[in-house]
Amino acid sequence: MGTLPQLIEEDIQRLDEALRELLEKSDATTALIIDKGGFLISGQGDTRQFDLTTIAALASGAYMANQTIANLVHETNFNSVYQQGEKYSMFVICIDESSLLVVIFKASVSVGAVKYFAVPAVKQIADQMQIAQERDPGGGLDLSVLNIADPSALFKKREA
Amino acid sequence: MAIINQATKELQVKIVYYGPAMGGKTTNLVQVHDHVQTAAGNKGKLVSLATSSDRTLFFDFLPIEAMSIKGFKTKFQLYTVPGQVIYNTTRQLVLRGVDGIVFVADSQYEKMPENVDSFTNLEENLKSLKLNLADIPYVLQYNKRDLPNVAPVEYMEFLLNNRDVQVPSFASTAHKCEGVFETLNMITRMLLHKFVSQGTPQYA
Protein backbone atom coordinates (compact mmCIF):
# COMPACT_ATOMS: atom_id res chain seq x y z
CA MET A 1 0.00 0.00 0.00
CA GLY A 2 1.26 3.47 -0.86
CA THR A 3 1.77 5.95 1.88
CA LEU A 4 0.77 9.53 1.66
CA PRO A 5 3.62 12.05 1.45
CA GLN A 6 4.05 14.71 4.08
CA LEU A 7 2.04 17.67 2.85
CA ILE A 8 3.14 21.22 3.48
CA GLU A 9 1.10 24.39 3.17
CA GLU A 10 2.03 24.85 -0.48
CA ASP A 11 0.76 21.35 -1.30
CA ILE A 12 -2.55 21.93 0.43
CA GLN A 13 -2.97 25.26 -1.39
CA ARG A 14 -2.42 23.56 -4.75
CA LEU A 15 -4.76 20.71 -3.89
CA ASP A 16 -7.43 23.16 -2.77
CA GLU A 17 -7.00 25.17 -5.98
CA ALA A 18 -7.59 22.02 -8.04
CA LEU A 19 -10.72 21.27 -6.00
CA ARG A 20 -12.05 24.81 -6.33
CA GLU A 21 -11.50 24.77 -10.09
CA LEU A 22 -13.35 21.45 -10.34
CA LEU A 23 -16.29 22.80 -8.33
CA GLU A 24 -16.47 25.95 -10.42
CA LYS A 25 -16.45 24.16 -13.74
CA SER A 26 -18.71 21.25 -12.85
CA ASP A 27 -21.14 23.13 -10.59
CA ALA A 28 -20.68 20.45 -7.93
CA THR A 29 -21.29 21.21 -4.25
CA THR A 30 -18.35 19.72 -2.35
CA ALA A 31 -15.06 18.12 -3.35
CA LEU A 32 -12.80 16.16 -1.04
CA ILE A 33 -9.43 14.51 -1.24
CA ILE A 34 -9.37 11.46 1.01
CA ASP A 35 -6.88 8.77 1.84
CA LYS A 36 -7.81 5.17 0.94
CA GLY A 37 -7.51 4.32 4.63
CA GLY A 38 -10.45 6.67 5.31
CA PHE A 39 -8.80 9.94 6.36
CA LEU A 40 -9.95 13.31 5.10
CA ILE A 41 -7.02 15.22 3.60
CA SER A 42 -8.67 18.34 2.27
CA GLY A 43 -12.10 19.62 1.27
CA GLN A 44 -13.55 22.58 -0.64
CA GLY A 45 -16.99 23.95 -1.43
CA ASP A 46 -19.86 23.51 0.97
CA THR A 47 -18.11 21.77 3.82
CA ARG A 48 -20.57 22.67 6.56
CA GLN A 49 -23.75 20.80 5.72
CA PHE A 50 -22.10 17.37 5.49
CA ASP A 51 -20.19 15.33 8.07
CA LEU A 52 -17.00 15.14 6.02
CA THR A 53 -14.99 12.98 8.44
CA THR A 54 -17.62 10.26 8.30
CA ILE A 55 -18.15 10.64 4.56
CA ALA A 56 -14.39 10.17 4.07
CA ALA A 57 -14.38 6.96 6.13
CA LEU A 58 -17.44 5.53 4.41
CA ALA A 59 -16.56 6.63 0.87
CA SER A 60 -13.14 5.01 1.07
CA GLY A 61 -14.74 1.84 2.47
CA ALA A 62 -17.36 1.83 -0.31
CA TYR A 63 -14.73 2.41 -2.98
CA MET A 64 -12.45 -0.32 -1.66
CA ALA A 65 -15.36 -2.77 -1.32
CA ASN A 66 -16.42 -2.07 -4.91
CA GLN A 67 -12.87 -2.49 -6.10
CA THR A 68 -12.74 -5.90 -4.41
CA ILE A 69 -16.04 -6.86 -6.06
CA ALA A 70 -14.66 -5.71 -9.43
CA ASN A 71 -11.63 -7.97 -8.91
CA LEU A 72 -13.91 -10.90 -8.07
CA VAL A 73 -15.72 -10.50 -11.40
CA HIS A 74 -12.35 -10.18 -13.17
CA GLU A 75 -12.78 -6.49 -13.91
CA THR A 76 -9.37 -4.92 -14.10
CA ASN A 77 -10.35 -1.46 -15.27
CA PHE A 78 -11.95 -0.14 -12.09
CA ASN A 79 -11.26 3.38 -10.94
CA SER A 80 -14.50 5.08 -9.93
CA VAL A 81 -17.84 4.70 -8.13
CA TYR A 82 -20.98 6.72 -8.86
CA GLN A 83 -23.78 6.90 -6.33
CA GLN A 84 -26.97 8.31 -7.82
CA GLY A 85 -29.35 10.14 -5.51
CA GLU A 86 -32.55 12.15 -5.73
CA LYS A 87 -31.12 15.18 -3.93
CA TYR A 88 -27.38 14.68 -3.97
CA SER A 89 -25.18 12.27 -5.87
CA MET A 90 -21.59 11.31 -5.26
CA PHE A 91 -18.73 10.39 -7.53
CA VAL A 92 -15.53 8.82 -6.20
CA ILE A 93 -12.51 8.46 -8.43
CA CYS A 94 -9.04 7.11 -7.77
CA ILE A 95 -6.22 9.68 -7.70
CA ASP A 96 -3.25 7.42 -7.08
CA GLU A 97 -2.23 4.42 -5.01
CA SER A 98 -3.09 6.10 -1.74
CA SER A 99 -5.83 8.66 -2.33
CA LEU A 100 -9.29 9.29 -3.78
CA LEU A 101 -11.26 12.29 -5.02
CA VAL A 102 -14.87 12.53 -3.78
CA VAL A 103 -17.30 14.90 -5.49
CA ILE A 104 -20.75 15.56 -4.02
CA PHE A 105 -23.17 17.28 -6.37
CA LYS A 106 -26.87 18.09 -6.64
CA ALA A 107 -28.91 15.56 -8.59
CA SER A 108 -29.74 18.33 -11.04
CA VAL A 109 -26.05 18.69 -11.97
CA SER A 110 -24.87 16.60 -14.89
CA VAL A 111 -22.81 13.60 -13.82
CA GLY A 112 -21.13 13.75 -17.24
CA ALA A 113 -19.76 17.19 -16.43
CA VAL A 114 -18.54 16.01 -13.03
CA LYS A 115 -16.79 13.01 -14.57
CA TYR A 116 -15.33 15.13 -17.38
CA PHE A 117 -13.88 17.83 -15.13
CA ALA A 118 -12.76 15.33 -12.50
CA VAL A 119 -10.18 13.89 -14.89
CA PRO A 120 -7.96 17.00 -15.14
CA ALA A 121 -8.46 17.63 -11.40
CA VAL A 122 -7.23 14.12 -10.61
CA LYS A 123 -4.18 14.71 -12.82
CA GLN A 124 -3.41 18.01 -11.09
CA ILE A 125 -3.78 16.47 -7.62
CA ALA A 126 -1.72 13.39 -8.50
CA ASP A 127 1.06 15.64 -9.87
CA GLN A 128 1.14 17.66 -6.64
CA MET A 129 1.21 14.47 -4.55
CA GLN A 130 4.14 13.31 -6.67
CA ILE A 131 5.96 16.61 -6.05
CA ALA A 132 5.38 16.20 -2.30
CA GLN A 133 6.61 12.62 -2.45
CA GLU A 134 9.80 13.59 -4.26
CA ARG A 135 10.45 16.48 -1.92
CA ASP A 136 10.62 14.07 1.00
CA PRO A 137 10.69 10.46 -0.15
CA GLY A 138 11.27 9.19 3.39
CA GLY A 139 8.08 10.89 4.50
CA GLY A 140 8.98 11.07 8.18
CA LEU A 141 6.79 12.65 10.76
CA ASP A 142 7.90 15.79 12.52
CA LEU A 143 6.03 15.71 15.76
CA SER A 144 8.60 17.59 17.76
CA VAL A 145 6.00 20.20 18.68
CA LEU A 146 3.56 17.58 19.82
CA ASN A 147 3.13 17.99 23.49
CA ILE A 148 1.05 15.69 25.60
CA ALA A 149 -0.26 17.88 28.36
CA ASP A 150 -1.36 15.05 30.62
CA PRO A 151 0.18 11.74 29.62
CA SER A 152 -1.66 9.84 32.32
CA ALA A 153 -4.89 9.95 30.37
CA LEU A 154 -5.28 11.14 26.81
CA PHE A 155 -8.95 10.30 26.94
CA LYS A 156 -10.85 10.86 30.14
CA LYS A 157 -14.00 9.12 31.20
CA ARG A 158 -16.78 11.52 32.03
CA GLU A 159 -17.92 11.20 35.61
CA ALA A 160 -21.45 9.94 35.91
CA MET B 1 -0.24 5.08 8.03
CA ALA B 2 -1.13 8.16 10.02
CA ILE B 3 -1.80 11.30 8.09
CA ILE B 4 0.01 14.42 9.11
CA ASN B 5 -0.95 17.74 7.67
CA GLN B 6 1.72 20.32 8.41
CA ALA B 7 -0.38 23.06 6.85
CA THR B 8 -3.30 22.68 9.19
CA LYS B 9 -1.29 21.08 12.02
CA GLU B 10 -3.43 18.00 12.03
CA LEU B 11 -2.53 14.45 12.84
CA GLN B 12 -4.99 11.69 11.99
CA VAL B 13 -4.55 8.23 13.43
CA LYS B 14 -6.46 5.02 12.73
CA ILE B 15 -7.03 2.48 15.50
CA VAL B 16 -8.77 -0.80 14.68
CA TYR B 17 -10.53 -2.98 17.27
CA TYR B 18 -10.04 -6.58 16.16
CA GLY B 19 -11.14 -9.89 17.63
CA PRO B 20 -13.56 -12.80 17.49
CA ALA B 21 -17.29 -12.41 16.85
CA MET B 22 -19.40 -11.21 19.79
CA GLY B 23 -16.29 -10.37 21.79
CA GLY B 24 -17.25 -6.76 22.58
CA LYS B 25 -15.49 -4.65 19.95
CA THR B 26 -18.56 -2.59 19.13
CA THR B 27 -19.38 -2.30 22.84
CA ASN B 28 -15.94 -0.71 23.40
CA LEU B 29 -16.71 1.97 20.82
CA VAL B 30 -20.21 2.53 22.18
CA GLN B 31 -18.77 3.02 25.69
CA VAL B 32 -16.09 5.43 24.47
CA HIS B 33 -18.73 7.34 22.56
CA ASP B 34 -21.08 7.48 25.55
CA HIS B 35 -18.53 8.31 28.24
CA VAL B 36 -15.64 10.25 26.71
CA GLN B 37 -15.07 13.68 28.17
CA THR B 38 -14.67 16.14 25.34
CA ALA B 39 -14.58 19.78 24.61
CA ALA B 40 -17.70 20.69 22.67
CA GLY B 41 -17.74 19.54 19.11
CA ASN B 42 -14.77 17.19 18.93
CA LYS B 43 -16.55 13.90 19.37
CA GLY B 44 -18.00 12.60 16.15
CA LYS B 45 -21.00 10.45 15.60
CA LEU B 46 -20.69 6.72 16.08
CA VAL B 47 -21.47 5.19 12.71
CA SER B 48 -22.45 1.55 12.76
CA LEU B 49 -22.91 -0.51 9.64
CA ALA B 50 -24.68 -3.43 11.25
CA THR B 51 -27.21 -6.10 10.35
CA SER B 52 -30.74 -6.02 11.75
CA SER B 53 -29.56 -8.22 14.62
CA ASP B 54 -26.84 -5.72 15.59
CA ARG B 55 -23.95 -7.76 14.25
CA THR B 56 -21.32 -5.59 12.61
CA LEU B 57 -21.57 -5.95 8.84
CA PHE B 58 -18.81 -3.68 7.57
CA PHE B 59 -17.39 -1.62 10.38
CA ASP B 60 -18.22 0.78 13.21
CA PHE B 61 -16.55 4.13 13.08
CA LEU B 62 -16.00 6.76 15.77
CA PRO B 63 -13.89 9.89 15.22
CA ILE B 64 -12.64 11.61 18.41
CA GLU B 65 -9.99 14.12 19.41
CA ALA B 66 -7.75 13.78 22.45
CA MET B 67 -8.09 16.76 24.74
CA SER B 68 -4.64 16.64 26.24
CA ILE B 69 -2.39 16.95 23.21
CA LYS B 70 -1.07 20.38 22.32
CA GLY B 71 0.60 21.51 19.14
CA PHE B 72 -1.26 19.24 16.75
CA LYS B 73 -4.97 18.75 16.38
CA THR B 74 -4.88 15.00 16.89
CA LYS B 75 -7.84 13.13 15.50
CA PHE B 76 -8.27 9.50 16.37
CA GLN B 77 -10.46 7.36 14.16
CA LEU B 78 -11.64 4.21 15.90
CA TYR B 79 -12.86 1.33 13.76
CA THR B 80 -14.13 -2.13 14.54
CA VAL B 81 -14.09 -5.06 12.15
CA PRO B 82 -16.84 -7.65 11.78
CA GLY B 83 -15.74 -10.64 13.84
CA GLN B 84 -17.56 -13.38 11.96
CA VAL B 85 -15.29 -15.63 9.94
CA ILE B 86 -17.12 -15.06 6.63
CA TYR B 87 -16.34 -11.34 6.62
CA ASN B 88 -12.61 -11.70 6.14
CA THR B 89 -12.45 -9.55 3.01
CA THR B 90 -14.13 -6.75 4.93
CA ARG B 91 -11.60 -7.08 7.75
CA GLN B 92 -8.78 -6.70 5.24
CA LEU B 93 -10.38 -3.52 3.89
CA VAL B 94 -10.77 -1.98 7.34
CA LEU B 95 -7.17 -2.79 8.26
CA ARG B 96 -5.89 -0.71 5.37
CA GLY B 97 -3.91 2.23 6.72
CA VAL B 98 -4.08 0.99 10.32
CA ASP B 99 -1.79 2.64 12.88
CA GLY B 100 -2.68 0.75 16.03
CA ILE B 101 -4.70 -2.31 17.00
CA VAL B 102 -6.75 -3.26 20.05
CA PHE B 103 -7.32 -7.00 20.10
CA VAL B 104 -10.51 -7.69 22.06
CA ALA B 105 -10.51 -11.29 23.27
CA ASP B 106 -13.50 -13.05 24.80
CA SER B 107 -12.51 -14.36 28.26
CA GLN B 108 -14.95 -17.28 28.32
CA TYR B 109 -13.17 -20.64 28.35
CA GLU B 110 -15.02 -22.00 25.34
CA LYS B 111 -14.04 -18.98 23.25
CA MET B 112 -10.29 -19.60 23.49
CA PRO B 113 -10.02 -21.39 20.12
CA GLU B 114 -11.88 -18.48 18.49
CA ASN B 115 -9.54 -15.98 20.15
CA VAL B 116 -6.48 -17.80 18.87
CA ASP B 117 -7.97 -18.21 15.37
CA SER B 118 -8.86 -14.54 15.23
CA PHE B 119 -5.36 -13.52 16.32
CA THR B 120 -3.82 -15.75 13.65
CA ASN B 121 -6.25 -14.26 11.15
CA LEU B 122 -5.12 -10.78 12.16
CA GLU B 123 -1.49 -11.66 11.48
CA GLU B 124 -2.40 -13.19 8.10
CA ASN B 125 -4.49 -10.20 7.06
CA LEU B 126 -1.70 -7.81 8.01
CA LYS B 127 0.69 -9.88 5.92
CA SER B 128 -1.64 -9.61 2.95
CA LEU B 129 -1.32 -5.82 3.33
CA LYS B 130 2.48 -6.17 3.58
CA LEU B 131 2.38 -5.23 7.25
CA ASN B 132 3.91 -7.01 10.20
CA LEU B 133 2.26 -7.15 13.60
CA ALA B 134 5.64 -6.65 15.25
CA ASP B 135 5.87 -3.18 13.65
CA ILE B 136 2.41 -2.03 14.69
CA PRO B 137 1.58 -0.93 18.24
CA TYR B 138 -1.13 -3.17 19.66
CA VAL B 139 -2.67 -4.01 23.01
CA LEU B 140 -4.75 -6.93 24.24
CA GLN B 141 -8.04 -6.61 26.06
CA TYR B 142 -9.48 -9.60 27.90
CA ASN B 143 -13.15 -8.77 27.89
CA LYS B 144 -16.24 -10.13 29.66
CA ARG B 145 -14.44 -10.61 32.99
CA ASP B 146 -17.80 -10.41 34.78
CA LEU B 147 -18.95 -13.76 33.41
CA PRO B 148 -18.67 -16.87 35.62
CA ASN B 149 -16.87 -19.13 33.15
CA VAL B 150 -13.84 -16.98 32.38
CA ALA B 151 -10.32 -18.30 31.87
CA PRO B 152 -7.61 -16.91 34.20
CA VAL B 153 -5.76 -13.89 32.83
CA GLU B 154 -2.47 -15.85 33.08
CA TYR B 155 -3.87 -18.50 30.75
CA MET B 156 -4.98 -15.87 28.23
CA GLU B 157 -1.55 -14.26 28.46
CA PHE B 158 -0.01 -17.63 27.66
CA LEU B 159 -2.29 -18.08 24.65
CA LEU B 160 -2.22 -14.58 23.18
CA ASN B 161 0.73 -12.70 24.63
CA ASN B 162 3.43 -15.33 24.49
CA ARG B 163 5.98 -13.57 22.28
CA ASP B 164 9.47 -12.13 22.50
CA VAL B 165 8.02 -8.71 23.14
CA GLN B 166 4.96 -8.82 25.35
CA VAL B 167 2.39 -6.09 24.89
CA PRO B 168 0.22 -4.42 27.53
CA SER B 169 -3.01 -6.26 28.30
CA PHE B 170 -6.14 -5.21 30.17
CA ALA B 171 -8.94 -7.11 31.85
CA SER B 172 -12.25 -5.50 31.01
CA THR B 173 -15.99 -5.61 31.27
CA ALA B 174 -16.80 -3.43 28.30
CA HIS B 175 -20.55 -3.14 28.84
CA LYS B 176 -19.84 -1.60 32.27
CA CYS B 177 -17.10 0.57 30.76
CA GLU B 178 -14.45 -1.13 32.91
CA GLY B 179 -11.07 -1.31 31.21
CA VAL B 180 -12.30 0.47 28.09
CA PHE B 181 -10.54 3.80 28.64
CA GLU B 182 -7.43 2.14 30.09
CA THR B 183 -7.09 0.18 26.83
CA LEU B 184 -7.71 3.20 24.61
CA ASN B 185 -5.28 5.39 26.53
CA MET B 186 -2.55 2.78 26.35
CA ILE B 187 -2.81 2.25 22.60
CA THR B 188 -2.83 6.00 21.95
CA ARG B 189 0.23 6.48 24.17
CA MET B 190 2.05 3.71 22.36
CA LEU B 191 1.14 5.22 19.00
CA LEU B 192 2.23 8.72 19.90
CA HIS B 193 5.45 7.38 21.38
CA LYS B 194 6.14 5.57 18.11
CA PHE B 195 5.42 8.66 16.01
CA VAL B 196 7.53 10.96 18.13
CA SER B 197 10.49 8.57 18.25
CA GLN B 198 10.24 7.95 14.50
CA GLY B 199 10.01 11.63 13.70
CA THR B 200 12.94 12.80 15.82
CA PRO B 201 15.94 11.37 13.95
CA GLN B 202 14.93 13.00 10.71
CA TYR B 203 15.03 16.48 12.19
CA ALA B 204 17.80 15.96 14.69
* d(C-alpha A38, C-alpha B129), whole Å: 16
Look up the CATH number of the domain holding residue B113: 3.40.50.300
Distance of CA A42 to the CA centre of its chain: 7
Residue B67 domain flag: yes
The reported pLDDT for the residue numbered A19 is 97
Residue B4 domain flag: no
Residue B200 domain flag: no
Q: Give the number of domains in chain B.
A: 1
pLDDT at B40 over 80: no
Q: Which domain holds residue B18?
A: 12-191
The reported pLDDT for the residue numbered B204 is 20
Does A40 sit within 8 Å of B72, measured CB to CB?
A: no
Closest in A11, A13, A53 to B44, CB measured: A53
Does B69 sit within 8 Å of A53, measured CB to CB?
A: no
A101-141: pLDDT as tens digits = 999 999 999 999 999 999 999 999 999 999 988 886 655 55
Residue (of B167, B81, B162, B158) closest to B125 by Cα position: B81
Name the percent of chain B lying above pLDDT 70.
Answer: 92
Mean pLDDT of B29-33: 94
Interface of A with B in 7-46 (CB under 8 A): 7-9, 11-13, 35-41
* Contact (CB, 8 A) for B46 and B61: yes
What is the Rg, in whole angstroms, of the alpha carbon atoms belonging to chain A?
Answer: 18
Report the CATH number of the A9-135 domain. Answer: 3.30.450.30
Q: Which residues of A touch B56 (CB under 8 A)?
A: none
* d(C-alpha B189, C-alpha B194), whole Å: 9
Does B7 sit within 8 Å of A153, measured CB to CB?
A: no
* Contact (CB, 8 A) for A36 and A63: yes
The reported pLDDT for the residue numbered A102 is 98
| DSSP code string of A52-70 | HHHHHHHHHHHHHHHHHHH
* Contact (CB, 8 A) for A157 and B176: no
Residue B181 domain flag: yes
Pairing of strands B47-50, B56-65: antiparallel
Mean pLDDT score of chain B, rounded to an integer? 88
Phi, psi angle pair for B135, to nearest 5°: -95, -5
- pTM score, two decimals? 0.86
* Contact (CB, 8 A) for B7 and A9: yes
**pLDDT-derived band of residue B108, with 50, 70 and 90 as boundaries?**
very high
Residue B201 domain flag: no
The reported pLDDT for the residue numbered A138 is 59
Does B188 sit within 8 Å of A144, measured CB to CB?
A: no
**Count of beta carbons in the 10 Å neighbourhood of residue A115:** 15
* d(C-alpha B101, C-alpha B105), whole Å: 12
What is the Rg, in whole angstroms, of the alpha carbon atoms belonging to chain B?
Answer: 17
Indicate the domain borders of chain A. Answer: 9-135
The reported pLDDT for the residue numbered B183 is 96
* d(C-alpha B170, C-alpha A41), whole Å: 34
* d(C-alpha A132, C-alpha A139), whole Å: 9
Does B97 sit within 8 Å of A37, measured CB to CB?
A: yes
pLDDT at A144 over 80: no
Phi, psi angle pair for A8, to nearest 5°: -105, 175
| A148 touches B at CB < 8 Å | yes
% helix / strand / coil in chain A, to the nearest 5? Answer: 40, 20, 40
pLDDT at B157 over 60: yes
* d(C-alpha B121, C-alpha B78), whole Å: 20
Residue B127 domain flag: yes
Distance of CA B149 to the CA centre of its chain: 24
Residue B162 domain flag: yes
Does A38 sit within 8 Å of B14, measured CB to CB?
A: yes
Lowest mean pLDDT among B83-87, B130-134, B177-181: B83-87
Residue B198 domain flag: no
